[in-house]
Amino acid sequence: MTEKVKVRIDGEVIAATAGQTILEVARANGKYIPALCYMEGLSAVGACRLCMVQVAGVARLLPACTTPVQEGLAIDTTSSQLQSYRKIALELLLAERNHVCAVCVSSGHCELQTLAQEHGVTYVRYPYNYPRLTVDTTHPRYVLDHNRCILCSRCVRTCAEIEGAHVWDMAGRGIDTRLVSELKRPWGEATSCTSCGKCVQACPTGAMAEKGWAVEEMTKQRTVVSRLTSMREGQ
Amino acid sequence: MDKLKIGTCWLDGCSGCHMSLLDMDEGIVAVLRKADIVFGPLVDAQEWPEGVDVAVIEGAVSSQDDLKLAEAARARSKVVVALGDCAVTGNVPSMRNGIPVRTLLRRVYIEGATERPGSEPPAVPTDGVPALLKHAEPLHSAIKVDVHVPGCPPRPNAILFVLSELLEGRTPDLGSKMRFG
């Protein structure tokens, strides 16, 4: 039997089920917590740090996507301190690689761009990193542009957990971390890739796209992962 | 009352933001009732004048000349507006930043040149062109910027809003009205 718990989110008392995360409970109750690495239907990894929330009595901030609810938690999701940290996180993501919206296939449909806009990021306060990064065009249908990758790992988890092929992984550490296909083979030579394209649909930015689209033309089916998961759970 | 003074310039940009500025249609008449444009691509002045109220700067800071002009505009203007993604983020001009300047110039002017019979051997031009800086940087990395207006280009009505607010002595709050790209 599932244990019911009560939590308080931004002052409102909400009934939840033990084992649910703060993010799941908040979203199920119409409360918006921004996130980039979280995707419904995938495991949660707490990588992007945008969903950080304040829990009363806890000195540090906690990621809502990986923190399970407990009886009596009082959670603040909207404080000005959180807003300012989220803005910093977005600016650091924009500064880390070469996010040039003006020439991006996903401009206008990009989750990073949209969140920056929603959080009032009109410029980036930190020095840009300008890394020299590659674009992998070896796959016949898809393209991977490392300049636009934010290392959210949604593609990694989609391929491993939904498609079951596990083509993608992260290599390197810290700022040198790179998304790699099949132990650093070019994508087009990755024999385990089924070319299903679900990683492309899961990618929040223009890092993964279908070939053949121009600026602003690449729209994605964001619900493909959650739909597959819920259909499988329903079996 | 004396009219206010607006100066505009473009650094490393495509002039698209200035096109968007002109594209505000009759809005520009309202702006010109309050202010004169005393410096810019369509104005004769050769030097950024003293006592400018609003400086509107398009483009990234990419060369020695860009830097000099940006510094002059800052020193002689009350408010500086970074207009468009190149001025705000570096945008397309900054895509060269991962490549050392020497390599870049050699690639463009020497390896990229098509030699015709009898023509001079290709060379990197030095006369009459300003030296490139190591990076094409956003304007705020070179001078203090008061208002950032992202967009590639920013929409004409956004530029009109920003100018109207500044000419009324208010600081425009773009909030979440603008996006990059």
Do A34 and A51 touch, CB atoms closer than 8 A? yes
The tally of domains found in chain A comes to 2
Quote the CA–CA distance of A159 and A166 in Å, as a whole number.
5
Please give the pLDDT value at position A127: 97
Q: Tens digit of pLDDT for each residue in B90-102?
A: 999 999 999 999 9
Specify if A233 maps to a domain.
no
CB contact (8 A) between residue B99 and residue A102: no
A64 and A97 both lie in a single domain:
no
A95 and A171 both lie in a single domain:
yes
Closest-CA residue of B relative to A114 is B179
Closest-CA residue of A relative to B93 is A100
Give backbone dihedrals phi and psi of B173, rounded to 5 degrees, phi first: -105, 100
* For residue B103, pLDDT beyond 70: yes
Q: How far is CA A142 from CA A107, A136, A195, A196, B100, in A?
A: 17, 9, 8, 10, 30
CB contact (8 A) between residue A132 and residue B141: no
pTM: 0.94
Which of A162, A155, A167 shows the shortest CA–CA distance to A231?
A162
Specify if A234 maps to a domain.
no
Output the domain CATH number for residue A22.
Answer: 3.10.20.740
A136 and A201 both lie in a single domain:
yes
Output the domain CATH number for residue A105.
Answer: 3.30.70.20
| Domain carrying residue A194 | 84-228
A38 and A89 both lie in a single domain:
no
Given A48, A78, A108, the domain boundary residue is A78
A11 and A91 both lie in a single domain:
no
Q: Is A57 left (phi over 0), alpha (psi -120 to 50) or beta?
A: left
* Residue A134 to chain B, least CA–CA distance (Å): 11
A74 and A88 both lie in a single domain:
no
Specify if A235 maps to a domain.
no
Given A36, A57, A78, the domain boundary residue is A78
Please give the pLDDT value at position A36: 98
What residues does A181 pair with on adjacent strands? Answer: A168, A185
Quote the CA–CA distance of A207 and A199 in Å, as a whole number.
10
Given A78, A93, A119, the domain boundary residue is A78
Please give the pLDDT value at position A193: 98
* For residue B114, pLDDT beyond 70: yes
CB contact (8 A) between residue B95 and residue A132: no
* For residue B2, pLDDT beyond 90: no
Residues of A in contact with B99 (CB under 8 A): 132
Give the mutation candidate from A130, A146, A218 for the B interface (greatest B CB count, under 10 A): A130
A93 and A199 both lie in a single domain:
yes
A152 and A130 both lie in a single domain:
yes
Going through chain A in order, the beta strands assigned E by DSSP cover 4-9, 12-17, 52-55, 62-63, 74-76, 135-136, 142-145, 168-171, 178-181, 208-210
A74 and A93 both lie in a single domain:
no
Where residue B1 falls among pLDDT bands split at 50, 70, 90?
low
* Residue A114 to chain B, least CA–CA distance (Å): 8
Which domains, from first to last, does chain B contain?
A: 4-95+133-167 (3.40.50.700)
Quote the CA–CA distance of A64 and A58 in Å, as a whole number.
13
Question: So what's the ipTM on this one?
Answer: 0.92
A135 and A176 both lie in a single domain:
yes
Per-residue pLDDT of chain A (235 residues), as tens digits, is: 589 999 999 999 999 999 999 999 999 999 999 999 999 999 999 999 999 999 999 999 999 999 999 999 999 999 999 999 999 999 999 999 999 999 999 999 999 999 999 999 999 999 999 999 999 999 999 999 999 999 999 999 999 999 999 999 999 999 999 999 999 999 999 999 999 999 999 999 999 999 999 999 999 999 999 999 999 987 6
Q: Tens digit of pLDDT for each residue in A182-230?
A: 999 999 999 999 999 999 999 999 999 999 999 999 999 999 999 999 9
